[in-house]
Chains A and B, each alone.
Chain A
Amino acid sequence: MNLFNIPSNELLQHLINGLTLGAIYSLIALGYTMVYGILKFINFAHGEILMIGTYAGYYLFNILCNPADGGIRVMLAFILSMIFAMFVSAFFGVTIERIAYRPLRKAPRLAPLLSAIGVSIILMNLAALFFGTKSKKFDYPFNNSTIMIGGASITPNQIMILIVGLILMISLKLFIDKSRLGKAMRATSQNQSVASLMGINVNFIISLTFAIGSALAAVAGILIAMEFKVYPTIGQMAGLKAFIAAVVGGIGNISGAMLGGIVLGLLETFGVVILGIPQGLKDTIAFSVLIIILLVKPSGILIKNIKEKV
């Protein structure tokens, strides 16, 4: 079958490329959208929190073992490093909220946004200063040999990103929908003062939200770093694309993050291939999608149009 004059196995490869790229965006978007959903706040520094956790995981991983050795020890070291990364990111997320966002809770929405931008710039540059600007290789704790599916290749890590993304999405939804804390979070997202009156410790809920969102970012970061290496600016484009993914899917909506990520990944990959434009313009596609969605359906794909001025 030849679609657009592209043979089917090449098309399948593009599809897989787009899906795996989309899965990466989805994973990062989860934490982003969660914070937005509860607090109606775009945490511009989400990408940098991801980056810090990734570095933490990287350093611990390489201290605990020699990745080239392989085996159980490496796998254990990896899991420990992942958990450590989650804690580090959560710590940073909660601390940043305390110092840079909480004082601005009553301020108009632009103030915390500018503050978040400032935090993002500070963290990225400090990371460059402390860790150096050269990329570092995050070795796979397992054998990442290519698997062939119908003439196209995919790697275990890419499959893992998809699966982890799905698991996290489902877990997150269950947590928010079914658990008591989740209920408190939903209450807080509706109306902070009323929630507080109902006995909910709003500060705690907000910190918890940031902690969870940041921990999710760390998980995303490490999985991505294995594909793309560790470097101080990991968070920049990742954060922006994740934001686009979240908006496309419906910001604040957990399933929307997954959907939006996949859609964005596919659009970037196929947009370039089908339009026959240079790959260098893929970011233009992504940002154009953002602007178009904001114009046409700002609430995103999954959310019904609310009568709120967006």
Chain B
Amino acid sequence: MKKLMVFLFSLMLLFTIGCGKEGEMIKSGDTVKIAFMGPMTGDAANYGKLMSQAVKIAVDEFNATGGVNGFKVQLIIEDDEGKVEKGDPAIEKLAGVDKVFGLVGAVFSSVSLQVAPKAEAAKIVMISPSSTHKDLPSKGAFIFRDVMSDALQAVVFGKYLATVEKIKNVAILYVKNEYSQGLAKDFKTQFEKEGGKVIAEETALQGDKDFKTQLTKIKGTNPEALYIPNYVAEIAQILEQAKQLGLKVKIYSADGFSNPQIFDLAGDLANGVIFTQAAQQPASKTRTDFEAKYQSRWSDKPDAFSLNAYDGARIILNAIKAVAQKSGDSLLINRDKMREIVAKTKDFDGASGKITFATDRDLISNIGIYTVEKKKYKQIKMFQLDGEKLIEIK
């Protein structure tokens, strides 16, 4: 029995060593591989489609300028269907089979959180363009994101509602998914710290269409405001039913509201809702160029996340180019050195704005307060969080 164990153990050791996690040598004729992971099929396929298209543009631009010392970059797109259990085989393939150097993804926080430890172990630099869960960058030194963290959004909004809009009590109606619940809890903590009161907290399940019971209970508590940090499908139902029930309060939401589908679903009911999102960046040539290229190639308009995806891909590609060394006919790429370059990203000229990673690998970002006028989004204020202080940027 012992001999069997020893034998099995050595086999296992052999395989783990033999499978070479770093894969640093690219032979002549081979390509340098990076990846995009997101929902390419399923409910959220549109997100994946828009973002992967942005990454394709980045890769093609890069190859057009000579790639990495003459080596072409190949983009591998993996579908995770937006599901945690599908992220696993996806990252396994990318790490084990394709041995990619960089990953733009995943799209959903739950998948990113699941996939991050494996990307970390495989030393793949991962930059998520849209996963906003506060815990993500802490999953490893190779994990970054160029989208604003939920924690930041909720904290800023908690302060904003209490100190700027001077709301004393608020009711929250959130959905039991990571995004909505995370925002709701963090907002509540901050709002109460600032002296506000959350007088009603109601929940619903993802996919629920009937919120009348919750809204009836909320109406009974007579709040000044209603915070609904959800995705647009639920928000549309809530807006409609709140109106039906005669619930007349100020309505606030979060960046999920920035999905223009809300206008198809709720129409004019969306007017007047105030919500948070990453602050609008001043117009830049990089952005206008990218948007033009995107529109002409894909006849789609890029969304905010696509800008992040494009930038994330460029940061990865630039880092690869910076550390790549020719070794005879082959190319040597050191993953650790690549990571260091990415970590030092400061004021990177991105289509989404100037990108700087903090020491905890999160995106340093400002928050914008937006509203809707006549079914159009409009930024009304911009804030920066400096420690505990909310500073308005005029």
Residues of chain A touching chain B, judged by Cβ–Cβ distance below 8 Å, are 6-7, 10, 13-14, 17, 21, 133-137, 146, 148, 153, 155, 227-229, 233, 237, 269, 272-273, 278-280, 282-283
Which of chain A's residues have a CB closer than 8 A to the CB of B176?
280
Within the complex, which residue of B209, B213, B220, B264 is in contact with A137, where a contact is CB–CB below 8 Å?
B264
11 contacts between A and B (CB under 8 A): A10-B219, A13-B216, A13-B245, A14-B216, A17-B212, A146-B246, A148-B246, A153-B245, A228-B209, A229-B265, A278-B203
Q: Say whether, besides A135-B233, A233-B207, A279 and B265 are in contact (CB < 8 Å).
A: no
Seed contacts A153-B245, A283-B205; 7 additional CB < 8 Å A-B pairs: A10-B220, A13-B219, A136-B264, A146-B243, A229-B236, A233-B207, A278-B203
Would you call B261 an interface residue if the criterion is a C-beta within 8 Å of the partner chain's C-beta atoms? yes
Is A137 in contact with B265, judged by CB distance below 8 angstroms?
Answer: yes
Considering the complex, give the chain A residue whose CB is closest to the CB of B45. Answer: A133
Would you call B214 an interface residue if the criterion is a C-beta within 8 Å of the partner chain's C-beta atoms? yes
Would you call B202 an interface residue if the criterion is a C-beta within 8 Å of the partner chain's C-beta atoms? yes
Q: Say whether, besides A6-B220, A153-B245, A153-B246, A17 and B213 are in contact (CB < 8 Å).
A: yes
Within the complex, which residue of A135, A273, A279 is in contact with B203, where a contact is CB–CB below 8 Å?
A279
* Alpha-carbon distance between A201 and B47 when the two chains are bound, in angstroms: 53
Which of chain A's residues have a CB closer than 8 A to the CB of B26?
none
Give the Cβ gap from B204 to chain A, nearest Cβ, in Å. 6
Would you call B163 an interface residue if the criterion is a C-beta within 8 Å of the partner chain's C-beta atoms? no
Interface of B is mostly: helix
Would you call B360 an interface residue if the criterion is a C-beta within 8 Å of the partner chain's C-beta atoms? no
Is A273 in contact with B205, judged by CB distance below 8 angstroms?
Answer: no
Which of chain B's residues have a CB closer than 8 A to the CB of A228?
209-210, 237
Within the complex, which residue of B203, B213, B244 is in contact with A155, where a contact is CB–CB below 8 Å?
B244
Residue-wise, chain B 180-205 has the 8 Å CB interface mask toward A (1 for contact) of 00000000000000000000001111
Residue from the set B205, B233, B261 with the largest chain A CB neighbour count within 10 Å: B205
* Alpha-carbon distance between A235 and B13 when the two chains are bound, in angstroms: 51
Is A269 in contact with B205, judged by CB distance below 8 angstroms?
Answer: no
Is A135 in contact with B244, judged by CB distance below 8 angstroms?
Answer: no
Which of chain B's residues have a CB closer than 8 A to the CB of A272?
213
* Alpha-carbon distance between A228 and B109 when the two chains are bound, in angstroms: 27
Is B203 in contact with A280, judged by CB distance below 8 angstroms?
Answer: yes
* Alpha-carbon distance between A17 and B264 when the two chains are bound, in angstroms: 26
Which of chain B's residues have a CB closer than 8 A to the CB of A17?
212-213, 216
Give the Cβ gap from B45 to chain A, nearest Cβ, in Å. 8
Give the Cβ gap from B211 to chain A, nearest Cβ, in Å. 8
Would you call B386 an interface residue if the criterion is a C-beta within 8 Å of the partner chain's C-beta atoms? no
* Alpha-carbon distance between A14 and B213 when the two chains are bound, in angstroms: 6
List B154-178 residues whose CB lies under 8 Å from chain A.
176
Is B217 in contact with A273, judged by CB distance below 8 angstroms?
Answer: yes
Which of chain A's residues have a CB closer than 8 A to the CB of B236?
135, 137, 229
* Alpha-carbon distance between A17 and B208 when the two chains are bound, in angstroms: 15
Q: Say whether, besides A133-B43, A228-B237, A279 and B244 are in contact (CB < 8 Å).
A: no
Considering the complex, give the chain A residue whose CB is closest to the CB of B221. Answer: A10
* Alpha-carbon distance between A256 and B30 when the two chains are bound, in angstroms: 70
Which of chain A's residues have a CB closer than 8 A to the CB of B70?
none
* Alpha-carbon distance between A248 and B324 when the two chains are bound, in angstroms: 70
Is B264 in contact with A133, judged by CB distance below 8 angstroms?
Answer: no
Is B42 in contact with A279, judged by CB distance below 8 angstroms?
Answer: no
Which of chain B's residues have a CB closer than 8 A to the CB of A21?
210, 212
Is A229 in contact with B246, judged by CB distance below 8 angstroms?
Answer: no
Give the Cβ gap from A277 to chain B, nearest Cβ, in Å. 10
* Alpha-carbon distance between A134 and B265 when the two chains are bound, in angstroms: 10
Which of chain B's residues have a CB closer than 8 A to the CB of A14?
213, 216
Is A227 in contact with B205, judged by CB distance below 8 angstroms?
Answer: no
* Alpha-carbon distance between A69 and B81 when the two chains are bound, in angstroms: 39
Is A10 in contact with B204, judged by CB distance below 8 angstroms?
Answer: no
Is B204 in contact with A279, judged by CB distance below 8 angstroms?
Answer: yes
* Alpha-carbon distance between A279 and B208 when the two chains are bound, in angstroms: 10
Is B265 in contact with A135, judged by CB distance below 8 angstroms?
Answer: yes
Is A269 in contact with B213, judged by CB distance below 8 angstroms?
Answer: yes
Within the complex, which residue of A135, A273, A280 is in contact with B204, where a contact is CB–CB below 8 Å?
A280
Is B205 in contact with A280, judged by CB distance below 8 angstroms?
Answer: yes
Considering the complex, give the chain B residue whose CB is closest to the CB of A21. Answer: B210
Which of chain A's residues have a CB closer than 8 A to the CB of B216?
10, 13-14, 17
Give the Cβ gap from A271 to chain B, nearest Cβ, in Å. 10
Q: Say whether, besides A279-B214, A280-B204, A229 and B209 are in contact (CB < 8 Å).
A: yes
Which of chain B's residues have a CB closer than 8 A to the CB of A229?
209, 233, 236-237, 265
* Alpha-carbon distance between A137 and B219 when the two chains are bound, in angstroms: 26
Considering the complex, give the chain A residue whose CB is closest to the CB of B176. Answer: A280
Give the Cβ gap from B108 to chain A, nearest Cβ, in Å. 15
Considering the complex, give the chain A residue whose CB is closest to the CB of B246. Answer: A153
* Alpha-carbon distance between A196 and B203 when the two chains are bound, in angstroms: 54
Which of chain A's residues have a CB closer than 8 A to the CB of B261?
134
Considering the complex, give the chain B residue whose CB is closest to the CB of A17. Answer: B212
Give the Cβ gap from B369 to chain A, nearest Cβ, in Å. 27
* Alpha-carbon distance between A7 and B207 when the two chains are bound, in angstroms: 30
Give the Cβ gap from A105 to chain B, nearest Cβ, in Å. 35
Which of chain B's residues have a CB closer than 8 A to the CB of A7?
220
Give the Cβ gap from B220 to chain A, nearest Cβ, in Å. 4
Residue-wise, chain B 226-257 has the 8 Å CB interface mask toward A (1 for contact) of 00000001001100000111100000000000
* Alpha-carbon distance between A16 and B131 when the two chains are bound, in angstroms: 40
Which of chain A's residues have a CB closer than 8 A to the CB of B45?
133
Which of chain B's residues have a CB closer than 8 A to the CB of A133?
42-43, 45
Give the Cβ gap from A88 to chain B, nearest Cβ, in Å. 23
Within the complex, which residue of A146, A153, A279 is in contact with B213, where a contact is CB–CB below 8 Å?
A279
Is A146 in contact with B244, judged by CB distance below 8 angstroms?
Answer: yes
Give the Cβ gap from B321 to chain A, nearest Cβ, in Å. 39
Considering the complex, give the chain B residue whose CB is closest to the CB of A135. Answer: B233
List B33-53 residues whose CB lies under 8 Å from chain A.
42-43, 45-46
Which of chain B's residues have a CB closer than 8 A to the CB of A273?
213, 217
* Alpha-carbon distance between A21 and B176 when the two chains are bound, in angstroms: 21
Considering the complex, give the chain B residue whose CB is closest to the CB of A24. Answer: B210
Considering the complex, give the chain B residue whose CB is closest to the CB of A20. Answer: B212
Which of chain A's residues have a CB closer than 8 A to the CB of B205?
280, 283
Which of chain B's residues have a CB closer than 8 A to the CB of A153?
244-246
Considering the complex, give the chain B residue whose CB is closest to the CB of A233. Answer: B207
Give the Cβ gap from B27 to chain A, nearest Cβ, in Å. 41
Give the Cβ gap from B125 to chain A, nearest Cβ, in Å. 32
